[in-house]
Amino acid sequence: MLQGTRSVGIPTFENQNGSMMESAGGSSIVDVRFRDGKRQSVFRSYTFSYMDRPNLTVLTPALVTRITFEGKRTTGVDCIYNGKTHRISAGHEVVLSMGAIQTPKVLMQSGIGDEVELQHHGIPLVQHLPGVGQNFQDHPAIGCVWEYQKPPPPRAGSVTFFWKSDPNLDTPDIPD
């Protein structure tokens, strides 16, 4: 696929983050962990082996509802766990990694986003950041299943691309 996209003038990138996301579009190998031809869980790869540490707690299923602040400094999060609201304080930092829908939702519920939109919903402003919650794009995918007579060789990864269906668009509208 990389050769195919390159052959029609679509640039290729070392990975899908950074330069590719800041450009007019392109194609790259997807950042996915594989071992012995099988896709690996990020949780199992990076977090599971540290579960016994006293400074790590994994709560499933907990729902983060907002970031807490002292002025503009993050201090923790509020979450719902076992039907009750809990405030969890952060010693050093708060990292949001909840996907394309939940991350901006929590940011906006916390007062980070477009000032007019937040005021419309009665949310006190912490930081005017108008791009939060904008430009959502769905990424449809079609799964296929093949049966092989013999096991296929291990996969190194898959490829993704983002491109414009119309050169006049500001950003790509065609995800892989």
The tens digit of pLDDT for each residue in 74-83 reads: 999 999 999 9
Average pLDDT in the 21-45 region? 80
- pTM for the complete prediction? 0.63
Average pLDDT in the 47-62 region? 89
Please give the structure tokens belonging to residue 32.
Answer: 């996915």
What is the pLDDT, as a whole number, of residue 122? 97
Average pLDDT in the 151-174 region? 74
Average pLDDT in the 29-47 region? 80
What is the pLDDT, as a whole number, of residue 22? 79
Which residue, chain included where needed, has tokens 């299943």? 145
When mean pLDDT is compared across 4-13, 15-24, 55-64, 116-125, the lowest value belongs to 15-24
What is the pLDDT, as a whole number, of residue 143? 63
Question: How would residue 67 be classed by pLDDT, with cut points 50, 70 and 90?
Answer: very high
Q: How many CB atoms lie within 10 A of CB 92?
A: 7
Question: How would residue 85 be classed by pLDDT, with cut points 50, 70 and 90?
Answer: very high
- Of these ranges, 38-42, 126-130, 135-139, the one predicted with the greatest mean pLDDT is 126-130
What is the pLDDT, as a whole number, of residue 131? 92
> Does residue 140 register a pLDDT over 70?
no
